[in-house]
């Protein structure tokens, strides 16, 4: 099974909002966002050999005055297509009703995890105000997908999302599963330390910022990092993520497959590791 853990669905037709589109484009830096019929979405997923996608919203209530998809929008997509989608929630950590939002998202909506972007939402991961967020995730046994590293989105200072910013959280909350999205690029060695050292930390591959996937992944995993590290040391801690629609899932999947890894390692990265992160049965 191939699971893409990093998909942004604001263009999907059932939740597409023409009025909000200009705001979403400005907030996310995805200026070609348009309505995508679900027939086209699934045709692309099938062509790219993607079995399931993890759908990620983002709550920018205090930063921008709106949410890039409501948690209810994600729930709607999951309910419509439960065999293809896994839904995450989001919450703006500066909101006064954080606990209530998460109780609703996890308890009532049954969403499978939480998406946070420290750079876009402007908080340090170890800020004391985050305790309520992390406590709720532990209470409901839900993982967090953190944006980590640089971003093409506007107004996203990287200082909030460097991989080492998450270390105190990993220590204080050993039962909190977290993923450092984009492999924390360009701080890939720091990310490697984090996922190697802490059992509750993973990283995803949604980090194509230049070159072809084949070339970029080769540079990351066989030049910037020792060629055998991904095979022998972090083979269980890397998740496949595409950052769709910014990048094509098929191209990203092919980039992983062309690394020439052992078949088992490739299968783990493309799907098996995600099941562990999500807390799902294989």
Provide the β-strand partners of residue 53. Answer: 4, 85
pLDDT of residue 282 exceeding 90: no
Residue with token string 């899932």: 249
- The tens digit of pLDDT for each residue in 168-227 reads 999 999 999 999 999 999 999 999 999 999 999 999 999 977 888 999 999 999 999 999
Question: Could you tell me if 209 and 150 are in contact, meaning their C-beta atoms sit under 8 angstroms apart?
Answer: yes
- The tens digit of pLDDT for each residue in 53-112 reads 999 999 999 887 778 889 999 999 999 999 999 999 999 999 999 999 999 999 999 999
pLDDT of residue 23 exceeding 80: no
Sign of CA dihedral 243, 257, 186, 93: positive
Question: Could you tell me if 59 and 90 are in contact, meaning their C-beta atoms sit under 8 angstroms apart?
Answer: yes
Place 45 in a pLDDT band, splitting at 50, 70 and 90: very high
Rounded Cα–Cα distance for residues 112 and 20 (Å)? 25
- Give the DSSP letter string of 26-38: HHHT-TT---B-H
The encoded tokens of residue 274 equal 């995600």
The encoded tokens of residue 267 equal 């299968």
Tell me how far apart the terminal alpha carbons of the chain are, to the nearest angstrom.
Answer: 9
Rounded Cα–Cα distance for residues 45 and 52 (Å)? 8
Q: Does domain 3-278 have CATH number 3.20.20.140?
A: yes
Rounded Cα–Cα distance for residues 282 and 263 (Å)? 17
Average pLDDT estimate for 158-162: 97
Rounded Cα–Cα distance for residues 275 and 282 (Å)? 6
The encoded tokens of residue 56 equal 């990620």
pLDDT at position 26 is 72
pLDDT at position 70 is 92
- The tens digit of pLDDT for each residue in 127-156 reads 999 999 999 999 999 999 999 999 888 888
pLDDT at position 166 is 98
- The tens digit of pLDDT for each residue in 218-253 reads 999 999 999 999 999 999 999 999 999 888 899 999
């Amino acid at each position: 099974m191939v699971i893409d853990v990093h998909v942004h669905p604001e263009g999907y037709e059932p939740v597409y909002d023409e009025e909000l589109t200009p705001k979403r484009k400005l907030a996310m830096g995805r200026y070609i966002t348009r309505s995508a019929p679900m027939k086209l979405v699934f045709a692309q997923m099938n062509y790219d050999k993607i079995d399931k996608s993890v759908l990620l919203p983002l709550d920018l209530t205090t930063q921008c005055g709106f949410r890039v998809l409501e948690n209810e929008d994600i729930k709607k997509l999951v309910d419509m297509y439960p065999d293809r989608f896994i839904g995450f929630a989001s919450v703006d950590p500066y909101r006064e009703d954080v606990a209530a939002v998460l109780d609703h998202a996890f308890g009532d909506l049954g969403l499978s995890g939480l998406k946070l972007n420290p750079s876009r939402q402007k908080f340090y991961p170890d800020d004391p105000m985050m305790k309520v967020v992390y406590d709720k995730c532990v209470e409901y046994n839900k993982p967090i997908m953190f944006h980590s590293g640089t971003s093409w989105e506007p107004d996203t200072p990287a200082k909030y999302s460097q991989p080492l910013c998450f270390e105190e959280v990993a220590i204080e909350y050993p039962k909190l599963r977290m993923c450092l999205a984009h492999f924390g690029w360009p701080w890939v060695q720091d990310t490697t330390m984090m996922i190697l050292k802490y059992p509750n930390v993973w990283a995803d591959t949604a980090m194509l910022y230049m070159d072809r996937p084949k070339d970029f992944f080769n540079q990351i995993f066989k030049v910037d990092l020792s060629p055998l590290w991904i095979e022998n040391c972090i083979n269980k801690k890397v998740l496949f993520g595409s950052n769709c629609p910014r990048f094509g899932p098929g191209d990203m999947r092919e980039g992983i497959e062309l690394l020439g890894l052992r078949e088992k390692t490739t299968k783990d990265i493309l799907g098996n590791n995600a099941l562990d992160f999500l807390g799902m049965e294989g």
